[in-house]
Structure 1
Amino acid sequence: SKKIKCDLEPSEGSVCTRCARKSLRCVVNKNLQTLLEEGTEWQSSMEQSSKCLKLAVSRILSTLELPPLESFMGISADSRASVSFSGPDADATPRSQNAALTMAMTRENSREPESNDSLPSAPMGTLFEVTKLRNLRSNPQRRTQNPRPSVLQNDFISKGRIAEADADELFGIFNRSLNHYLWGGVALVHDSLRSVRESSSLLLAAILTVTALHIPGKEESFDLCYAEFTSLVSESMLDRYHSLDGIRALCIGAFWLSDLSWKLSGHAVRIATELNLHQSYARVMRGSLEHFEASRLWYFLYVCDHHFSIAYGRPPVIHEDAAITNHDQFLQLPGISQADLRLHSQVAVFIILTRVYNFFGPDVEHSLSESDVVHLQQFNKDLDSWRIAWEPQLAPNTFIATYPSKGVALHHNFAKLQLNSLSLRGISEAAASSMTAERRDSANTAISAAIMILTMVLDEADIRNSVVGVPIYLHTMITYSAIFLLKAQQKCSHFQLATDSILIRNLVTRTIELLNGAKAGKRHLSCHIASGLKETLERFTAFPVSGQQDTRSVQASYPVPSHFGLPSTHSGYDMNPQHDTFGLYDGSFPPYDEQSFPFGFFDVLSTVHFDFGLHNQ
């Protein structure tokens, strides 16, 4: 068809005569001048909109104390494109790409009131006072401000990466179970999922991650939550603004995520000192009760730090200053609960263990002198006094029954094992004939403590049911007890110690059954410990089994504790009746990774200077 462009005369209005007669759409042939005029009008409108947008963004950046808009000019177009959102999975890229890639040398918007009557408290403070550069300090005041409204809208629930119903289920399980293993709920001050979401995306991710780790069938949720949590942790490394809930999140992750525990605990302590939590005790004792929660969190951090420094054989980050050594004075303040008593019982025992570490040193190849062995007895008395003082104070918990008080007895044996095993540190075969009665008594005390640990875990219902739920420090000590007994049985026979090979094999065998039968997610440590202990047991024992030991098996599996609120469907199992192999082990479990449990300072038998080989006892 022939195309005809219409030329409108001013008198013809918006439609020409021909198009009106034929009921056609009028195609106007605009002249160049008209196009230029319309383009200029559009350009002016866009320029005005751009100015308004730039002004609005500048005000937002200023309010949030972020680098000025000009600092973002250095980001390439490819970088900007990489962080644009194109769908639900767009946030999978690290959020750190959104941050400016240049150093922001911005100053404070307004000068803070100066105190001419006081001297500077720290050298870096004077540098900030002179330059007013924001990047020279953190901003502790931000921890008390209300959370930004965008937090809830921007978390990974609102983005559809995990369903809100699933998140609410996981939060409920954490709130009535795992949370209470952290000394009655010190780690969580929120009573609803929404409250957590409005406060801290990092805390939300931590809670959902560790809970999914414990629940069978939640592996997909765990992977999603773990990726979100590690992404937020990475982002927080260079963040200048932190909150108490962010610290709580890092601690929660440290207590249950074995691959991140050491890094998370150290990161949490660094942030806490930026927020001056180490000064909270002094302030609250002077009557500033608004620092009560921060002071409580500092004690929580102390325990978290020492859980992993002691287990790894590394020096603790938090030292015993007045806040720690006088922690009992904090318990005289109003508002103290059973949660505080449980937490401070841990503070007290780790004060003793830290003194042990400092007194005997970290060199695992250095054997104790006889004068050092005498000091073991004084530390033993300190531990006995600790148990006598704290065990009666801890009442049963609605969610975890008598675990609080029985946990004191368990930790007492942990500490006894750690302390008295030092009597065997660096010892040589030649010393067997000259071993003193005091050293032998200490070694036997360590063996008795290890036996008691496994016995309590197996026979005390409230301890047994906690195998799925307790922080990984307890799994470390359970594993260490089993390994210590096996090594003592095989390597120390010439020292005439109280090792009963039949009893030890029986305890380790039953422990393997218990851990392997625990219902948890596939990445929970229990099944991996069981696999590793089974391999270790086969290496370290070579004596005939028939007729030599109590072959009772665990007739019922140990399900997820009832307070998890999940149905128990496991039907129970028996061990292979031949007892020379374990029918439950079909090679489906990953190999035991000894790096998950680097016993460090207390792995005293790793450096025993003799080798008796694997022989019958």
Structure 2
Amino acid sequence: MASSSTPQKRSSYDAGLESPKREDDRPPSVPAGRPPPPKISKARACAECKRHKIRCEIKPGESSCTKCLRSGIKCVVNDFSQKFVDDDGIWKSQATATLHQLQAAVSDLLRENGLPELSTYPSTTDTRNGPSPAASSSHHTRQRSTETSQPPRASHNGPGLVMDVTREPSLEPDLQDPDLVPAPMRSLYEVTKLRNLRNNPVEKPRLNQLEEDFISRGLISIHEAEELFAYFSRTMNQLLWGGIILVHRDLTSVRRSSTLLSVAVLTVAALHIPNRTETLNQCYNEYVSLVSSMSLTRVHTLDDVRGLCVGAFWLSELSWKLSGHAVRIATELGLHQSYQRMMRGHNDQYERAQLWYLLYVCDHHFSIAYGRPPVIHEDAAIKNFENFLRSPLVVSGDIRLMAQVALFMILTEAYRMFGSDSEQPLSEEDFGQLRVYNVAIDQWRLLWQPRSLDSPYVRTYPSKGVALHYHFAKFQLNSLALRALSPANTPGFSMDRKESANIAISSAMACLNMVLEEPDIRDAIVGVPIFTHTMVTFSAVFLIKVAVSWHTASLSIDGGQVRRLVERVIELMNCVSAGERHLTRHIARGLGKMVERFDAWETAQYAGRRVSVAGISNTSGLNDRDQRDVPGGANAMAQGFPPPDLIYGMVGTYGFGLDENLLDPSMATMEFWAQ
């Protein structure tokens, strides 16, 4: 046995380890104040030689060492440092090949699109003055670990869809927070940190929207888009309360702010211009796609809300859905609280409060008129709109908007009083309250018509529009006198019911006469929101139905006068300059069919009177010449009159029950847009 003082012989395994170098032995490239980088050992020893602590020798041309060859076993190398070096070399060679492949692909794409060569583009990263890639990767890894902790994803809702419940970093709950009564969801978020439950911040527009929108993709040309934008700005935008729905002065500005608003504007403009069917189809499909894709997103802007409102005001088949969606997004953005903040001196809330009033009117256009309860109730902002008008920021369009707010407050109260059940007639006691609402509408006109000043774009339309909506409201309220009644079950009218029914008739006649006789109303009829088209159509349908069904009730209505008036309305709708799919075209077609049925009914009435005078009980007593003199006389009597589909097929059109069936049925289906 060797003595303890004798130095032990170093094994080949130990000899493969490098002894630590002195500071003087550091490479010249390493500064004096920095420790030398660790050197990776390249020593090789297989597992068998390491176990026996013997020298691992490999002869040239052999892959196994001498010991393993002699023992007939597999030579396995367990040198992890060498494996790291080998793997690193393989990864670098693969990354280099992939990088060259990507560069070649990008160069081909640039060449195909006529763009400059790749070498002309500046580098977006500079590692000379920034952290090393490894440090940057480590930093981002730490940042992700502190910002977001993502648990395993929950159950699948469908192919490729998973429920992603993520958490956000935030301060611990403040037990001394002075806000003791927050919204319940706020407390839940404060405890759970669940991002899904929290309202998103207000506007976060993407900076590259203009480069990625439908115009940049070539769906329509920039020249045509500019033309459509200009048309909307000087017509429809001015009719809708002086341009407050579109605050951008040029197309580029609106494109940068909201793709949804820009495509909504171009869609509506294309709908109103003749011979733009192809453009309308492109814009409409893009608009529907954007609305569908944003239904579950959480980040929106004020202009996104405006984009929904533009569609609601002019696209009849989408109006109800869009108005409700716009209100929900607006409440997420906190627009319902903007009025109170504005009253506390925050003038930056003016635009948001204004948009909340616009949403109130939009919501009521497409709720009460359709017999549906409105979403927005009469909160402090709605009840105190006069305080809003005292702001120095108010423009003339705000006055016109507040006139609508005030009117729909009256109609909403009446809706809640009388309901929308088309099978519930008004009792005699209800007419006292109905007179109160009539007085309120009279006072509304006296207050707001003088305050609505003329416009250089639409001339006297603001004040004349107040008068038109006055007749709409009087007609809509008083038409309830005939709701759920039929001539067979109503032997006589009380004086109150007869008075209200005659007010409804005279107001409906006044609606149609204003549209036909007032030049500024007639010229604007093509560009007004669909609520006006709906009420004009409702007036015409109501008059025809009353002339047919209640002609024996001693009401103040003349069937011949009604027919002539409706024919003039049809002529006007056919003559307006608008696109082939504009609502006026379908109103004219639908009313034309009703006039044809009305003519058949008059023919039957005439034939019935002749038979009655001759003392004959049916039309079989008329000779062939009599039947030829009365076109459709025999067929009309055989069918029975008044025709059920004319009178009772549109249940709910008396009072608060308008729906798409009031118009041409083709407007109620999406197949219309696919033609």
Given the two structures, how large is their TM-score scaled by the length of structure 1?
0.74
Q: Mapping of 1:483-498 within 5 angstroms?
A: 483-498=541-556
- Matched residue, 2:177: 116
Q: Which residue matches 2:656?
A: 602
Per-residue CA distance 1:375-404 (angstroms, 9 max, x = gap):
211111000000000000111111111111
1:493 match: secondary structure? coil
- Amino acid of the structure 1 residue aligned with 2:549: K
Aligned to 2:447: 389
- Structure 2 residue aligned with 1:135: 196
Q: Which residue of 2 aligns with 1:150?
A: 208
Rounded to whole Å, the distance in 2 between the matches of 1:169 and 1:187 is: 19
**CA displacement 1:328-353 (0-9 Å, x = unmatched):** 11111111111100000000000000
* Equivalent residue number for residue 510 of structure 1: 568
Aligned to 2:276: 218
Counterpart of 1:331, as a letter, is: L
The 1:243–1:67 alpha-carbon spacing in structure 2 relative to 1, beyond 3 Å, is farther
CA distance 1:241–1:55, change in 2 (3 Å): farther
- Where does structure 2 lack aligned partners over 5 or more consecutive residues? 1-85, 103-132, 605-630, 633-645, 659-675
Structure 1 segment 285-324 matched on structure 2, within 5 A: 285-324=343-382
Give the structure 1 partner of residue 285 of structure 2: 227
100-109 vs 234-243, greater mean Cα deviation:
100-109
Q: Could you tell me whether the CA contact under 8 Å between 2:169 and 2:193 is conserved in 1?
A: no
The AA in structure 2 aligned to 1:443 is A
Deviations 1:50-103 (A, max 9, x none): 999x969x89x98xx99989979x999xx9xxxxxxxxxxxxxxxxxxxx8322
**In structure 2, C-alpha distance between the alignment counterparts of 1:237 and 1:187, rounded to whole Å:** 21
Against the structure 1 CA distance between its residues 40 and 448, is the aligned structure 2 distance closer, same or farther, given a 3 Å change threshold? closer
1:138 shift after superposition? 2.1
3-state SS in 1 of match to 2:164: coil
Alignment check: 8 A CA contact 1:432 1:494 kept: no
* Paired residue type of 1:107: R
Q: Over aligned residue pairs, what C-alpha RMSD do you find?
A: 3.5
Instruction: State how 1:68-467 maps to structure 2 within 5 Å.
Output: 101-111=161-171, 116-139=177-200, 141-143=201-203, 145=204, 147-429=205-487, 432-467=490-525
Q: Flag the structure with larger Rg.
A: 2
Matched residues in 2 for 1:266 and 1:386: separation? 27
CA distance in 1, matches of 2:240, 2:334: 23
CA contact (8 A) 1:258 1:596 kept: no
CA distance in 1, matches of 2:454, 2:488: 50
| 1:490 match: secondary structure | helix
State the 1:260 CA deviation. Answer: 0.4
Deviation at 1:36, TM superposition (A): 11
Q: Note if contact 2:511-2:536 (Cα within 8 Å) is conserved in structure 1.
A: yes
Correspondence 1:54-65 to 2 at 5 A? none
Q: CA deviation at 1:603?
A: 4.7
1:241-286 Cα offsets, whole Å, 9 max, x none, are: 1111110000000000011000000000011111111111111111
Cα deviation, residue 597, structure 1: 12
Counterpart of 1:528, as a letter, is H
What is the Cα deviation at residue 522 of structure 1? 1.2
Letter in 2 for 1:369: S
How far the C-alpha of 1:107 sits from its partner, in A, is 2.1
CA offsets per residue over residues 101-141 of structure 1, 9 Å max, x none?
322222224449957121141111111111112111221x3
Identity %: 50
Distance, in Å, in 1 between the alignment partners of 2:288 and 2:479 is 37
Give the aligned partner of residue 612 of structure 2: none
Distance 1:336 1:157 in 2: 34
Please state how far the C-alpha of 1:43 moved relative to its aligned partner: 2.3
**Contact 2:492–2:553 (CA under 8 A) maintained in structure 1:** no
1:478-527 Cα deviation digits (max 9, x unpaired):
10000000001011122110011111011000000000111211111111
- The structural deviation recorded for 1:444 is 0.4
Asked if the contact 1:400/1:462 (under 8 Å) is kept, the reply is yes
Q: Does 1:43 align with 2:97?
A: no
Taking the aligned partners of 1:286 and 1:597, their CA distance within structure 2 comes to 48
Determine if contact 2:149/2:167 at 8 Å carries over to the other structure: no
| Residue deviations 1:345-379 (CA, integer Å, cap 9, x gap) | 00000000001100111211111111101221111
Deviates more, 1:128-137 or 1:351-360: 128-137
The alpha-carbon distance between structure 1 residues 113 and 520, as it changes in their structure 2 partners (threshold 3 A), is: farther
Residues 452 and 42 of structure 1: is their aligned pair in 2 closer, same or farther, counting only changes over 3 Å? same
Distance of aligned partners of 1:359 and 1:55 in 2 relative to their CA distance in 1, 3 Å threshold: farther
Partner of 2:23: none
Q: 1:75 to 1:531 in 2, by over 3 A?
A: closer
CA contact (8 A) 2:267 2:283 kept: yes
Distance in 1 (CA, whole Å) between partners of 2:543 and 2:283 is 38
What residue is the counterpart of 1:527 in the other structure?
Answer: 585
**Letter paired with 2:553:** F
CA–CA separation in structure 2 for the residues paired with 1:329 and 1:511: 40
Residues 135 and 518 from structure 1, CA distance in 2 versus in 1: closer, same or farther, beyond 3 angstroms? Answer: same
Equivalent position amino acid for 2:502 in 1: N
Q: Out of 300-309 and 428-437, give the one that drifted further.
A: 428-437
SS at match of 2:317: coil
Q: Which range moved further: 197-206 or 431-440?
A: 431-440
Take 1:432 and 1:124, find their aligned partners in 2: how far apart are those partners? 54
Structure 1 unmatched runs, 5+: 1-34, 80-99, 546-579, 582-591, 605-617
Give the counterpart letter for 1:269 in structure 2. Answer: V
C-alpha deviation, 1:290, in angstroms: 1.5
Change (3 A) 1:215 1:67: farther
1:43 alignment partner AA: Q
For 1:264, the aligned partner's letter is L
Do 1:312 and 1:601's aligned partners in 2 also have CA atoms closer than 8 Å?
no
Q: Provide the C-alpha distance between the structure 2 equivalents of 1:67 and 1:280, rounded to a whole number of angstroms.
A: 35
CA distance in 2 between counterparts of 1:37 and 1:188 reads 59
- Paired with 2:209 and 2:649, the residues of 1 have a C-alpha distance of 37
Give the residue type in structure 2 aligned to 1:121: P
